[in-house]
A and B are shown apart, each in its own frame.
Chain A
Amino acid sequence: MHFAFTDQQIEFRDAVRQVLLNECSTDDLRASFEAPAARTARWETLAALGVVGASVPEAHGGLGLGLVDLVPLLEEAGRAALPEPLLDTTALAAPLLAELAAADAGSRGQVADWLESIAAGGMAVVVGPPAPGATPLAGANGADLYVLATDGGPDGPQIHVLEPDSVTVTPVPSLDPTRRLAAVQWAPGPESRLASGPLAASLIGRTADRAAVATGAELLGLTQRMITMAADHAKVRQQFGRPIGSFQAVKHLLAGAQVTLEFARPAVYGAAWSLDEGEPTASRAASVAKAYASEAATEAARVSLQVHGAIGYTWECDLHLFLKRAWALSAAWGSAAEHRARVLASLVAGA
């Protein structure tokens, strides 16, 4: 039993934090409102640091890291509201492609090429949950590769990988313009199919669990960012001749949000470990993590806006950059309510 990150994991996190402090300021975020590209200079910096290819197996040029290693990096991505698809590319696509490569799926060398492109070239990938029609996907506008799934129909679950020339991408407006949301239209065909049947089903399930935890990790960073912004505001904003943070009503709002965050953190960390280790209760742990992190973020968003007062409700104040991401990610890959229902179903089944 040793429930902590290693020094090495913390050092990698600190390096990513520094890059994002330099290259993902709120001014940078605002600048990205108008830029539809996934391959930004910031993304290239992260790729050069090994972050983008972190979970690509070493045999394919990556660092071969697991979800536990990625979680602290994703927290930093959340803290900075990083617009690029690090979560999809590094936490979802690379491990999925690595499993496909191990299962010898697809035509010879194709999957390996993609993995090497992620590790060496910083290829930006988006991963869509199995959904009918063209559900809008974050980061889809300008991505280099699309990993898409079907889970219904007579042919059962399937995983497809498509290059940009095989899909039709239509930008969709989002409240959070940094999301680069787009509808992806595509047709499942034999050329793009990489897995079907039980292999596809298990990969889809595992990807959804990883996505729940990875999204939870980004929400942890976002949550701490919003609470810290609100606390900083409450220390300097004066009313009735004193900082508003000295009033108990304000203190209790922020303290309540911080306490929820303190308990969401180990839920996310523990779930990441469970998934890496293939624990029998890993899927339930992932749901606990996402449910807790979504609640923590939604509550922190409400509270931090309340503490800011009217200034927090303006375009000028940076708070909304984080509120909007928190709202979007709270709903992504399963809302808190969906995951609570999953947890209870698993408990009642006696797992």
Chain B
Amino acid sequence: MDTPMDLRFTPAQEAFRREARAWLEANAPEPRSLPSLDTAEGFEAHRSWERAMFDERWSVVSWPEEFGGRGAGILEWLVFEEEYWRVQAPLRVSQNGVFLLAPTMFEFGTEQQQRRFLPAMASGAEIWCQGWSEPDAGSDLAGIRSRAVRSADDRGWLLTGQKTWASRGAFAEWCFGLFRTDPEAERYRGLTYFLIEMNAPGVVVRPIPQLDGETGFAEIFFDDVFVPDDQVLGGVGQGWNVAMATAGSERGLSLRSPARYCEAASRLVALYRQRRAKDPVGAGRSADAVAQAWMDAEVYRLATLWTATRVLDGGSVGPEASANKIHWSETDLAIHRAALELLGPEAELHGGDADASWLDGYLFALAGLIYAGTNEIQRNVVAERMLGLPRG
């Protein structure tokens, strides 16, 4: 490449930013004004917000126009994310669909599948959950035992087994899941990626209250659930490859844009400034932690622009996605831990009129070290695939 280094967005990208900002400022709900998306009421409120965005083509800006997007590039998407978090717009109830399944469906889905599923995903009409983990297969995903056998009419598959820790599973309409279609094959082989309707006969959902008391995830039981052939994504027996594409999105660029952390880091600095005015000595004890957390978010922003440039220049993201996941999850933790430290004894207030946003954020940050593959598994990936250390 002969293009000199340049960290400025183009005038066209800045114009796109102004358009997004104007719409979001006029339309986004007040920060934290919607009920939690892990409640039935909050789920519907967040779905309405997805619909409002979709109607003005803001819900999936990077998708092609035919599916409800704006055909925006990766840099424009990052700009949109900056604006989205700037107004502290609601968490995306459709995130498992739009950020994880959709990139996989663009890569592996048939044209018919894309037409059938993507617009309804983008509008929030159909919310997706992820059916991967099982009671005995978490970090060791290749150890899953839920299986699928051919249906008697040979037009599809019958799914049996149990999935768990499905975020949004309590309320979602659809599930993307990994099942063993070849009982003779082991581990990574013989798996198939299915698109499953949650109200199909034989699906039973048991919501699981999380440690904050809300039903953020669920167990899903499958008992001879019929899934037609056209709801296989990426081919029978190809499940592991397809799933790794989804995992790349989950750990890499698309699930967690830097804007989310940069916004939280700015609020952390504001909190520090406020506390310092009242208690300079007390706040001073957290100065180093506040600075480090802000820097963690800032370098994530820079690293994302670096990676985005590489992708735009035709490169790909490999095991770096695992390094990325470790960094964003630890950044989130660092930001919230510093905030709770500044809050002191007030940090535990939860419920009533208390603003528990830092505490809720801390709880969610702790989940980030676990979901999308634990950070311990990601460190194994970094060690084996970036440094070439032998498998254990």
Partners in one complex: yes
A residues in contact (CB < 8 Å) with B: 1-8, 68, 227-228, 231, 234-235, 242-243, 245-248, 250-252, 254-256, 258-259, 262-267, 269-270, 273-274, 288, 291-292, 337, 340-341, 343-344, 347-348
Does A269 lie within 8 Å of B5, measured CB to CB? yes
A57 to B8: give the CA distance in the assembly, Å: 25
Tell me the nearest residue of chain A to B302, going by C-beta: A266
A82 to B326: give the CA distance in the assembly, Å: 33
How many Å from the CB of B338 to the closest CB on chain A?
11
Tell me the nearest residue of chain B to A274, going by C-beta: B7
Is the CB of B303 closer than 8 A to any CB of chain A?
A: yes
Partner pick for B2 among A8, A246, A248, A266, CB 8 A cutoff = A8
Known contacts A4-B306, A267-B299; is-contact A248 B392 (Cβ 8 Å):
yes
Does B326 lie within 8 Å of A259, measured CB to CB? yes
Interface size on B, residues (CB 8 A): 53
A13 to B388: give the CA distance in the assembly, Å: 24
Known contacts A6-B4, A344-B294; is-contact A254 B389 (Cβ 8 Å):
yes
Known contacts A1-B7, A1-B305, A266-B303; is-contact A343 B291 (Cβ 8 Å):
yes
Interface residues of B in 296-314 (CB under 8 A from A): 296, 298-300, 302-303, 305-306, 308-310, 313
A250 to B300: give the CA distance in the assembly, Å: 26
Interface string of B355-392 (1 = CB under 8 A from A): 00000000000000000000010111011101111111
Is the CB of B247 closer than 8 A to any CB of chain A?
A: no
Does A2 lie within 8 Å of B294, measured CB to CB? no
Known contacts A5-B5, A231-B387, A258-B382; is-contact A246 B302 (Cβ 8 Å):
no
Interface string of B305-347 (1 = CB under 8 A from A): 1101110010000001001001100000000000000000000
Known contacts A267-B299, A269-B5; is-contact A258 B276 (Cβ 8 Å):
no
Partner pick for B389 among A2, A251, A348, CB 8 A cutoff = A251
Q: Which among A2, A254, A264 has the greatest number of chain B C-beta atoms within 10 A?
A: A2
Number of cross-chain contacts by CB at 8 Å: 163
A337 to B391: give the CA distance in the assembly, Å: 37
**In the complex, what residues of B have CB within 8 A of residue A344's CB?**
269, 272, 287, 290-291, 294
Is the CB of B206 closer than 8 A to any CB of chain A?
A: no
Is the CB of B18 closer than 8 A to any CB of chain A?
A: no
Does A258 lie within 8 Å of B302, measured CB to CB? no
Is the CB of B75 closer than 8 A to any CB of chain A?
A: yes
Is the CB of B9 closer than 8 A to any CB of chain A?
A: yes
Q: Which among A250, A255, A258, A274 has the greatest number of chain B C-beta atoms within 10 A?
A: A255
A254 to B384: give the CA distance in the assembly, Å: 10
Known contacts A248-B380, A270-B302, A340-B288; is-contact A258 B387 (Cβ 8 Å):
yes
Partner pick for A2 among B1, B291, B298, CB 8 A cutoff = B1
Known contacts A7-B2, A235-B388; is-contact A2 B309 (Cβ 8 Å):
yes
Q: Which among A6, A231, A274, A348 has the greatest number of chain B C-beta atoms within 10 A?
A: A348
A103 to B287: give the CA distance in the assembly, Å: 40
**In the complex, what residues of A have CB within 8 A of residue B382's CB?**
255, 258-259
Interface string of B72-101 (1 = CB under 8 A from A): 000100000000000000000000000000
How many Å from the CB of B112 to the closest CB on chain A?
36
Is the CB of B295 closer than 8 A to any CB of chain A?
A: yes
Is the CB of B13 closer than 8 A to any CB of chain A?
A: yes
Known contacts A266-B306, A292-B299; is-contact A227 B387 (Cβ 8 Å):
yes
Q: Which among B296, B389, B391 has the greatest number of chain A C-beta atoms within 10 A?
A: B389
How many Å from the CB of B10 to the closest CB on chain A?
7
